[in-house]
């Protein structure tokens, strides 16, 4: 660390003010427009380039990255500035190989497998020149109408903290100087997941109590895991936009938590301070953000005003030095000053597909099973529904570099895993009866498009579509058992359709291997173990419904099925499926629960004292399987 500091101070001492301010700016690089990137380096002296074709990278077509072109731009930057560029890209849950959406990954409760997946993701992305990515997304999310819930770890701060640690360690590793490691970014700091009504970019109202008990924990965990960057969020909290809040960025994140990397704004978060009513113009927006501790401006072009602001005495040069110092430190720690270039290596994509498949099967949640699953591998199956041969939706939002060819559909997965099964399928739903009559069992492959999930893609209703409801009801008419394979990016309201199914396998958007993973569970090659990290409401109107609600004087949240006057009159108070719910093919017996200290108080816990809870878990069924043992604490 001492050496790093020394090196950074040396570099800093040779930089002009223009060079310093340049480091605080991120511009765009389009692979097809490299000259523009070089121009930006020459004229604006940028510190980072984002590999993106638009502000909506998650749901619009994006050009790919290429190592040789990135090397060319990096060489230009080294010659021109003597300082390497951080090339950022949204590599959220996969690169060429796509892994499950983070909300699904969280249901695996398998930190080791998540970490391994992000090691592979870092390898694939770094091989094309990406050295910084904007993940993990750590927004506690209680509202499935919000399209961005797909990127989140769900509603639980502890699960969020475990995800933070796994993703950061997977991406950055123990030695960030290695080519296959990339800089992580914990986002969106903070409270963006509370967006009012689930509408994207909306305001939030978060008390300090809620901030500290729910929203901050995952960011603290990311910082403790060594995350090098944090992204400030778009939202305001109780009237104060985060991206101009000294309290949140400087006092809480940097000073109190001790985050020692740098903060980058979200795309437009600085300039939007004008719309949010706290800044008159771009210059004032820059003044507010830099003085609040926001180090790098993502494609807002507001930090161009910093020179004027220094001249006017509104920004202290030490403030600029501190931000530059933080950015240079990350570049030194990432080994970019020593070797900024990429030497592509051969990647074993087959191995990555295996990991993706394993994580996909552990992320699936079996919601219902009236003894029908697993199926025998020589079943006669009617396979119906819009997700039967769909590929793109299964990859989910926020995947920019996917390979559609290598994406396994539900249809292909069943053929791969059960080659002796007979599959009857119809794309014309009027003819589905003919397929069902010829079959023993019906599998309905249902779901939603990736285009109704992700950024700026919220829904007013989380009911499944009328067309799909119709398919479900009609499928039931033939007297065959009906299995639902549900491919959604969020939890949806299943109360109205649940009775029509004999089994429901919740398959989310699980990435490149969705079809194989689903088929492995359907035919018993894998036993389901996923437990949902988000509560499934019965109907949209129950939102927000989350398990870790603080206690009220009367029980308003009928979480565990308690019906009382405070719940709604027109729907049961309990959730459709609670947080932590998920069935298996086997059965378990829990016994011998022991707590080694039942008299501990909060002060002792704060001082680091622990309580050991143990339980014997016995697999009493007919399948080898794994069980996620859950322990809840109530204060």
Site for ligand NOJ, rule CB under 6 A: 52, 57, 90, 134, 187, 266-267, 455
Largest CA distance in the chain: 81
Q: Which is nearer to ligand NOJ, 55 or 372 (CB)?
A: 55
Smallest distance from ligand NOJ to CB 325, Å: 24
Which uninterrupted H or E stretch holds 26? strand 25-29
Q: Which is nearer to ligand NOJ, 296 or 443 (CB)?
A: 296
Q: How far is the CB of 211 from ligand NOJ (least distance, A)?
A: 20
CA 504, 542, 506 angle in degrees (round to 5)?
15
DSSP 249: I
Task: Respond yes or no on whether the N-terminal peptide bond of residue 136 is cis (omega within 30° of 0).
Answer: yes
- Nearest approach in angstroms of CB 50 to ligand NOJ is 6
Cα 386 to chain center, whole Å? 25
Structure tokens that stand for 103 in this block:
């909300």
Token readout for 91 is 């590599």
- Would you say 170 or 193 has its CB closer to ligand NOJ? 193
Query: Smallest distance, Å, CB 137 to ligand NOJ?
Result: 7
Report the distance separating Cα 196 and Cα 557, nearest Å. Answer: 19
Least distance to ligand NOJ, CB of residue 185, Å: 8
Least separation in angstroms between CB 88 and ligand NOJ: 8
Q: How far is the CB of 59 from ligand NOJ (least distance, A)?
A: 11
Q: Is 610 exposed, middle or buried (0-12, 13-18, 19+ CB in 10 A)?
A: exposed
Return the number of other C-beta atoms located less than 10 Å from residue 208's C-beta: 12
Distances (CA, A) of 134 to 20, 206, 453, 543: 23, 24, 18, 28
Give residue number: closest CB to ligand NOJ. 134
HEC readout, 582-605: CECCCCEEEEEEEECCCCCCHHHH
**Residue 128 Cβ vs ligand NOJ, minimum distance, rounded to whole Å:** 17
Q: Is 428 exposed, middle or buried (0-12, 13-18, 19+ CB in 10 A)?
A: exposed
Toward ligand NOJ, which CB reaches closer, 11 or 218?
218
Given strand 262-265, what is the order of strands in its sheet? 185-189, 229-232, 262-265
Structure tokens of 448? 């939603």
Whose Cβ is closer to ligand NOJ: residue 245's or residue 535's? 245
Which is closer to ligand NOJ, CB of 229 or CB of 529?
229
Cα separation of 26 and 37, whole Å? 11
Strand partners, 317: none
Active site residues: 266
CA pair distance 304, 300, nearest whole angstrom: 9
Of 20, 50, 37, the C-alpha closest to 77 is: 37
Three-class DSSP category at 241: strand
**Between 243 and 557, CB nearer to ligand NOJ:** 243
Using CA atoms, how far residue 94 sits from 3, 161, 237, 256, 386, in Å, is 34, 20, 31, 33, 24
Q: Which is nearer to ligand NOJ, 89 or 162 (CB)?
A: 89
Q: What minimum distance in Å lies between the beta carbon of 89 and ligand NOJ? A: 8
C-alpha distance from residue 490 to each of 355, 453, 501, 533 (Å): 23, 8, 19, 11
Look up residue 629 and give its two tokens: 């043992």
Give the long-range contacts of residues 282-291, CB within 8 A, separation 24 or more: 283/308, 283/309, 285/244, 287/314, 287/315, 288/244, 289/243, 289/244, 289/265, 290/24, 290/315, 290/319, 290/320, 290/323, 291/246, 291/315, 291/319
Q: What backbone phi and psi angles, to 5 degrees, belong to 4?
A: -60, -50
Residue closer to ligand NOJ (CB basis): 62 or 379? 62
Give the torsion sign (CA, 354, 357, 363, 368): negative
For ligand NOJ, give the closer residue by CB, 362 or 450.
450
Instruction: Read off the DSSP letter of residue 197.
Output: G
Say how far apart CA 119 and CA 166 lie, in whole Å.
10
Q: Which is nearer to ligand NOJ, 185 or 394 (CB)?
A: 185
The 10 Å Cβ neighbour count of residue 595 is 12
Residue with Cβ nearer ligand NOJ (15 or 231): 231
Shortest distance, position 455 Cβ to ligand NOJ, whole Å: 6
Give me the least distance between CB of 2 and ligand NOJ, in Å please. 33
Min. distance of Cβ 295 from ligand NOJ in angstroms? 16
């Amino acid at each position: 660390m001492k050496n790093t500091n020394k090196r950074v101070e040396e570099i800093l001492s040779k930089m002009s003010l223009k060079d310093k301010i340049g480091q605080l700016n991120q511009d765009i690089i389009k692979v097809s427009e490299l000259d523009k990137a070089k121009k930006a380096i020459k004229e604006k002296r940028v510190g980072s380039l984002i590999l993106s074709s638009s502000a909506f990278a998650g749901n619009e077509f994006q050009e790919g990255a290429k190592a040789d072109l990135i090397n060319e731009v990096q060489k230009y930057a080294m010659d021109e500035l003597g300082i390497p560029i951080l090339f950022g890209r949204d590599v959220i849950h996969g690169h060429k190989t796509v892994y499950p959406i983070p909300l699904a990954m969280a249901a695996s409760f398998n930190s080791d497998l998540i970490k391994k997946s992000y090691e592979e993701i870092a390898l694939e992305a770094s091989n094309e020149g990406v050295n910084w990515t904007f993940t993990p997304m750590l927004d506690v999310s209680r509202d499935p109408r919000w399209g961005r819930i797909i990127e989140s770890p769900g509603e639980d701060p502890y699960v969020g903290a475990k995800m933070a640690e796994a993703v950061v360690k997977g991406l950055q590793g123990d030695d960030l100087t290695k080519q296959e490691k990339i800089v992580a970014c914990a986002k969106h700091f903070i409270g963006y997941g509370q967006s009012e009504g689930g509408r994207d970019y909306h305001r939030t109202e978060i008390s300090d109590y809620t901030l500290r008990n729910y929203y901050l924990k995952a960011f603290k965990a990311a910082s403790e895991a060594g995350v090098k960057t944090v992204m400030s969020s778009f939202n305001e909290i109780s009237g104060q936009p985060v991206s101009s809040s000294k309290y949140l960025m400087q006092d809480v994140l940097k000073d109190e938590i001790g985050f020692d990397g740098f903060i980058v704004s979200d795309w437009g978060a600085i300039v939007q301070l004008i719309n949010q009513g706290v800044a008159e113009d771009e210059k004032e927006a820059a003044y507010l953000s830099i003085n609040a501790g926001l180090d790098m401006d993502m494609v807002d072009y507001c930090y161009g005003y910093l020179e004027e602001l220094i001249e006017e005495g509104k920004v202290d040069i030490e403030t600029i030095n501190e931000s530059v110092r933080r950015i240079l430190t990350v570049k030194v720690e990432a080994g970019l000053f020593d070797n900024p270039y990429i030497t592509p290596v051969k990647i074993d994509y087959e191995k990555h597909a295996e990991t993706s498949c394993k994580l996909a099967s552990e992320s699936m949640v079996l919601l219902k099973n009236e003894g029908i699953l697993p199926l025998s591998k020589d079943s006669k199956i009617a396979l119906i529904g819009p997700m039967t041969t769909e590929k793109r939706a299964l990859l989910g939002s926020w995947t920019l570099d996917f390979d559609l060819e290598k994406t396994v559909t539900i249809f292909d997965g069943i053929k791969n895993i059960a080659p002796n099964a007979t599959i009857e399928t119809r794309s014309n739903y009027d003819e589905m009866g003919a397929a069902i009559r010829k079959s023993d069992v019906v599998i309905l492959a249902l779901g939603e498009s990736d285009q109704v999930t992700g950024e700026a893609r919220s829904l007013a209703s989380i009911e499944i579509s009328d067309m799909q409801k119709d398919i479900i009801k009609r499928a039931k008419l033939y007297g065959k058992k009906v299995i639902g394979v549900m491919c959604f990016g969020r939890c949806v309201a299943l109360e109205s359709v649940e009775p029509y199914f004999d089994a429901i396998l919740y398959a989310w958007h699980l990435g490149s291997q969705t079809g194989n993973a689903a088929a492995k569970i359907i035919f018993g090659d894998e036993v389901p173990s996923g437990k949902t990290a988000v509560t499934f409401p019965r109907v949209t109107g129950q939102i927000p419904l989350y398990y870790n609600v603080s206690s009220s004087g009367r029980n308003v949240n009928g979480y565990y099925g308690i019906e009382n006057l405070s719940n709604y009159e027109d729907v049961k108070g309990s959730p459709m499926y609670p947080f932590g719910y998920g069935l298996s093919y086997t059965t378990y017996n829990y016994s011998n629960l022991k707590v080694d200290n039942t008299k501990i108080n909060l002060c002792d816990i704060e001082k680091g004292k622990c309580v050991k809870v143990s339980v014997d878990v016995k697999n009493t069924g007919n399948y080898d399987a794994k069980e996620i043992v859950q322990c809840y604490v109530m204060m």
